Chain A
């Protein structure tokens, strides 16, 4: 049999591939043109640098090997890897095999795909030929094993570490059907060919012989190849409109990321790359506390990005999120979904809140040159014991300090920003900055992680900003005589804004180990649970919040500690709601409890006896 006999069946594949080759570059160019001129300058500066090599390394480990998914669950990782890396190898090895066999580097693109059809009686005369036949069969088995897992996952996702699979929409279902058909059809076509010609690799030949003994293999041979070609072509055409757009877009995103492009305040071309890079694997929905505890199943990162991509985003979907960052931390594609969500919130809400100008005379604060300026923030004002503990420790350690918001009435601006009131937040930031600069302090001490994050990221302050857990850790190291270890059992709650938000995990733990016996919990550091109090969620009901709070509290008290320590006044306030057997205290309060008794200056009593003796 040769090329001229039945060449028509290759057309669905060729047409699909041609469509992809035209559509993808066109759409990527369109998105690139939407990025800012600064971003494009960054790209052209970095394109021929070591950054590109680093990007290619990441593309290999994430797009093909799926290392991050392996870390989430090894079986799920294997499933993704066998489909991606297996298919990739089939293409590479297939091309090599064809090139070696035909001794022509420029063979048509369909030749490696349908190699068995064009050279069915290609019997390996040497070790090289046998090697390729066996390898191609092994790779096909590799992909088929992943496919079996994928089908199995649809019905029993728990087996692959997923509480539930993503709910898919029509374009995804169409593409998924084609994808699932590709490899079984390839196996069928290759097996039938092997059966008819009695030649092939160990796998296709044995299955081919079995098929040939049962079925009219010769008549079925061409339809099988047609079906395989149609499945391939159909998948290629459906790809850009389905979740499988991530296959190529993810690689582009990794390149852009390494070249220094970042998510911006407003949606631009880079956002398009991010939105289309989501494979809807559903790992984000699996770590989301809204779905696990509160029964909210429509606003997770995967559904938010999907609705945004297909222009059907409801404002409520963007609003119903705690911004706890668990999804971004778990995302195998590293999509900054919180930033994209904030873009959408800002689009809608920014114009609804005016910039605020407070009369300068009303600005509170007591200037103190060179000392520590302490900003308590709204939430610390709501938990006065935290403020008092900080005041006591600072006084005890002889730290010169003043409190910027002693009288209250001033906000860091982050809550407004998270709601999308950008211009209002910026006006607050500008005024608070002026006040801080006027104080001429040398350091800004903050006891609320929500404030801490915004001071770090949005304020352009010339002085360092420190969260009190870090400041006190350094203080305790410098003056260890101030604190004693109470040997009490405690657990530590990582707040979202301090932990995942600001990357501060170790300092508070180090400090706590100095004053108490710190025991681990089931969810630590990057995997820490949100207390549920987050200001970022504008749609959740108080009852749903309580469900999240209770679960988080339960896991914190599971190791039976004497008390729970957090480093966020808002988490403390949230946990304190309702009846709690084990108290939740701030890290400052835990430290206050560990203060050594103050040595009173010894007064020498001059009594009569002394006089007599003298």
Chain B
């Protein structure tokens, strides 16, 4: 059955709102534990702007947001293209050790919790 609003030529997406109190932030907390400076991130996007693998879908800013929201399903595709060149870390205005966070995230996504 087609959604009812299809007849208007556009479709309203379902809301992405989540309950942060119930979100599973265990991975985020493990990363914070490893790299405490991670908490200083302001989501400015400098990392994304300088990224060598930006065109391939590497997106640290989005990955950080999803981590906080506990939406871990997409994290792998968002960090797989990273080549660890380290430009993001050097441009970060908040001195976040982004490269180390991504490295540890890649490892943690492959290791059982």
Contacts and interface: CB of A to CB of B under 8 A. Distances in A.
Interface residues of A, number: 34
A541 interface: yes
A410 B52 contact: yes
B87 A428 contact: no
Given A353-B106, A382-B91, A542-B95, A421 B52 contact: no
A421 B87 contact: no
Interface stretch (A95-103, A354-362, A513-521): A354-362
Interface in B5-53: 37, 50, 52-53
B70 interface: no
Given A356-B56, A542-B97, A349 B90 contact: no
B84 A421 contact: yes
Contacts of A382: 50, 87, 90-91
A220 B103 CA distance: 65
Contacts of A538: 99-100, 103-104
Contact of B85 (A348, A358, A415): A415
A378 interface: yes
B86 A353 contact: no
Contacts of B86: 378, 415, 535
A419 interface: yes
Interface string A356-395: 1010001000000000000000110110000000000000
Nearest to A349: B107
Contacts of A378: 52, 85-87
A178 B55 CA distance: 63
Contacts of A353: 80, 82, 106
Contacts of B54: 409
A424 interface: yes
B100 A409 contact: no
Contacts of A541: 37, 97
Contacts of B103: 349, 419, 538
A608 B53 CA distance: 63
Contact of A415 (B50, B84, B104): B84
Interface string B74-100: 000000111111110011000111011
B80 A381 contact: no
A352 interface: yes
Contact of A381 (B53, B55, B84, B87): B87
A356 B83 contact: yes
A352 B90 contact: no
A77 interface: no
Contact of B87 (A356, A358, A379, A416): A379
Interface string A552-577: 00000000000000000010011000
B2 interface: no
Contacts, number: 73
Contacts of B107: 348-349, 352
B83 A362 contact: no
Nearest to B91: A382
B17 to A, nearest CB: 32
Contacts of A348: 107
Nearest to A573: B90
Interface in A410-446: 410-411, 413, 415-416, 418-419, 421, 424, 428
Contacts of B96: 542
A421 B103 CA distance: 10
A535 B83 contact: no
A536 B53 CA distance: 19
A408 interface: yes
Interface string A572-611: 0110000000000000000000000000000000000000
Contacts of A358: 56
Contacts of A351: 110
B111 to A, nearest CB: 8
A449 to B, nearest CB: 14
Interface in A506-545: 533, 535, 538-539, 541-542
A535 B84 contact: yes
B50 to A, nearest CB: 7
B88 to A, nearest CB: 10
A535 B99 contact: yes
A424 B83 contact: yes
Contacts of A570: 90
Nearest to B96: A542
Nearest to A405: B52
Chain A CB within 10 A, most for which of B54, B90, B104: B90
Contacts of B53: 409, 411
B65 interface: no
Chain B CB within 10 A, most for which of A352, A356, A378, A409: A352
Contact of A416 (B55, B56, B84, B91): B84
Chain B CB within 10 A, most for which of A353, A382, A533: A353
Nearest to B89: A542
A409 B81 contact: no
Contacts of A574: 90
In order of increasing CB-CB distance, the 8 nearest A-B pairs are: A378-B85, A411-B83, A352-B110, A415-B84, A542-B95, A352-B106, A535-B86, A411-B85
11 contacts: A351-B110, A352-B110, A354-B80, A378-B52, A382-B87, A409-B54, A411-B83, A411-B85, A415-B83, A415-B85, A538-B103
Given A353-B82, A378-B86, A418-B84, 13 more contacts: A349-B106, A352-B110, A409-B54, A409-B55, A411-B52, A411-B53, A411-B83, A415-B83, A428-B83, A538-B100, A541-B37, A542-B97, A574-B90
Interface of A: 348-349, 351-354, 356, 358, 362, 378-379, 381-382, 408-411, 413, 415-416, 418-419, 421, 424, 428, 533, 535, 538-539, 541-542, 570, 573-574
